[in-house]
Amino acid sequence: MTNTFLSQLVDLLGNDVVQTEAAEIEPWLSDWRGVYKGQAQALVRPLTTQQVSDCLRLCNEHKVPVVPRGGNTGLCGGATPDGSSANVILSLDRMNTVRSIDTIANTLVADAGCILGNLRRAAHEADRLLPLSLAAEDSSQIGGNIATNAGGVNVLRYGMARELVLGIEAVLPNGDIYNGLQTLRKDNTGYDLKQLLIGSEGTLGVITGVALRLHAPMHVRSVVLAAVDSPKQALELLRLVFGACGPRLQAFEFFTDECLDLVLAHVDGVQLPFDQRHPAYVLIELADTANEEALQTLLEDVIGRALEQELCQDAAVSASMAQLQALWRLREEISEAQRSDGPHLKHDISLPIERIPEFIDSAELRLRTVANDCRLFIFGHFGDGNLHYNVSRPLHAEKTWAHEWEERIADLVFAEVASYGGSISAEHGIGQLKRRSFHEHKDPLQIRLMEQIKKVFDPNGIMNPGKLL
C-alpha cells in the first residue's frame, strides 16, 4: 500500500515536489523547541494550489494522514507529525508570492507560505501597515499565523489575526478548492465559512492563500519602559494610559525582573534599563500617522502623571528609533532567552484582565505546594489579558525536569485558570501540548459541535492527526 501510494504521489507531483529520502525528511520531523519529534514517509513542497489539491485528493483516497507545516515557530507541537510512519508533511514554503496590494481598498492578497515579516515589509513599501506582529515574524508563515489565529503585540489596537482576514483560499481534504479569497468588507451571504478555517490548526484543510486588511502606516512611534512594583500597579497604569491615549495605544507589555535576568544572561547587546532593579516592567508603545512631537509630548505627559500618582516607580522614554528598538528587545528576546536556558513549561493563557494580579498570586501559592523551588517567568500582553505563565526547572536541576513535571504542573495551572473563567490557550493554539487539557476544560457541547464540523470537512480523519480533536 505504502509503496503504491508513494509511487503514485511522485508520479502525480514529480520528484521536485515530493521527497522520500529519510535524510531529506529528517529536518522536518521536529518542532522549533525540540520537544516533539514524529515520523513521515514523505515531504511534499508544492508550488501551486492545484498541486496541494492533487496531493490531498490522493492522500484522502489512500487515507494517508497529512500534517500541514508553516514556518515551524509554534510552541504547541501543532505542525509536528505524530509517531505514525504513514504521515505526509505538507509544506507551503515555496508558495510565497504576494499576489496583489491594493492601496485604495487597503488589502493584501498573498500565498500562505509567505513569511509574515516579508508581508509587513511589502505593505510598508506600499505605505500601508499590516499590523500582525510577533517575535517570530521573520520565520513564521502567514498561513500558519491564520491557521492558529495568531495574536502578537498589537492585539490591543488591531485585534487577533482573525480580525485582519477578509478572505481565504483553502484546499479541503478531498481536494476541493475553497475559493473564498474575496477582499470585500461586507458580505452577508450566509455562514462565514472562512472563520471555521481560521484557528483550526490544519485539522479541516490547508490554507493556501489569504486576503488581509491593511491599515494606515504608523510613521510615528514612541515607547516607554516603566518600572512597576506589582501586576496590580501595572493594571492601574493601563487604566491611566488607555484613558489618556485611546486608540494611539498600540502595545502594553508586561514582564517580570526574572525575565529580564534571563535576557541579560542569554542575549548579547542588551543593557539594564535602570540603575536599580524593580519587581516588574511595562513596555508601552504609542503610534500615530503624523506629528512626532505631539505624540512624544502625550507620552511624556501621561508618564509624568503616572509617576506623580505613584503608578510606576521609574520610566525610560525612547528618544530615538535605536532606543525604541533597544527597549523592545528586552521584551521580544524573552522566548529566545528561555530556549537558551533550557526546556520551559509554557502556559499561554488568557484571563479577565482585572483578575490577572489575583491569578498570579494564587497560582504561585498553589504551585509552590508541589514544586517549591521551580522558577517562574511571567510575561505577556497585559493589555488584552494574555499571560505567558512559564515554569522552569530549579537551579542546578537536570533538563529532564520539564518533561517529568509537565503534566502535573499543567494540570495545576490550567485548573487555576479555569477557576478564574480564563482560557488555557490565548494565542498559541492547542496542538499536541494542550490536547488533553483542552478536552478536560472545554465545554462538552462545544467539543461535540467541533467534532461534528470535523467530520463534515474531513470524514476520513486525515488532516493533522493528534492535534486539537
pLDDT, tens digit (0-9, with 9 covering 90-100), for 169-224: 999 999 999 999 999 999 999 999 999 999 999 999 999 999 999 999 999 999 99
Residue 394 carries which DSSP code? P
Mean pLDDT of 365-372: 93
User: For all residues of the chain together, what is the average pLDDT?
Assistant: 94
Q: Which residue, chain included where needed, has cell 513549561?
A: 345
Q: Compute CA distances 200 → 146, 195, 364, whole Å.
A: 9, 9, 32
Phi, psi of 451 (to 5 degrees): -65, -35
Does 2 have pLDDT greater than 80? no
Mean pLDDT of 439-461: 96
Helices (H) and strands (E) in the chain, counts: 16, 17
What's the pLDDT at 403? 87
User: Is residue 422 classed exposed, middle or buried when 0-12, 13-18 and 19+ CB atoms within 10 A define those classes?
Assistant: buried
Contact 151, 384 (CB under 8 A): yes
Mean pLDDT lowest for which of 56-70, 158-172, 334-348, 408-422? 334-348
Q: Which residue, chain included where needed, has cell 535576557?
A: 263
Mean pLDDT of 293-314: 95
Contact 315, 303 (CB under 8 A): yes
Q: How confident is the model at residue 32 (pLDDT cuts 50, 70, 90)?
A: confident
pLDDT, tens digit (0-9, with 9 covering 90-100), for 315-326: 999 989 999 999
Mean pLDDT of 454-467: 97
pTM above 0.95, yes or no: no
Q: In order of start, what are the domains of the chain with their CATH numbers?
A: 2-91 (3.30.43.10), 98-213 (3.30.465.10), 220-335 (3.30.70.2190), 342-444 (3.30.70.2740)
Q: How confident is the model at residue 11 (pLDDT cuts 50, 70, 90)?
A: very high
Task: In whole angstroms, give the CA distance from residue 66 to residue 55.
Answer: 9
Mean pLDDT of 285-305: 93
| Greater model confidence, 35 or 371 | 371
What's the pLDDT at 469? 87
Task: In whole angstroms, give the CA distance from residue 307 to residue 361.
Answer: 25
Strands 249-256 and 280-288, bridge-based pairing: antiparallel
Distance of CA 21 to the CA centre of its chain: 31
Strands 348-350 and 280-288, bridge-based pairing: unpaired
What's the pLDDT at 1? 41
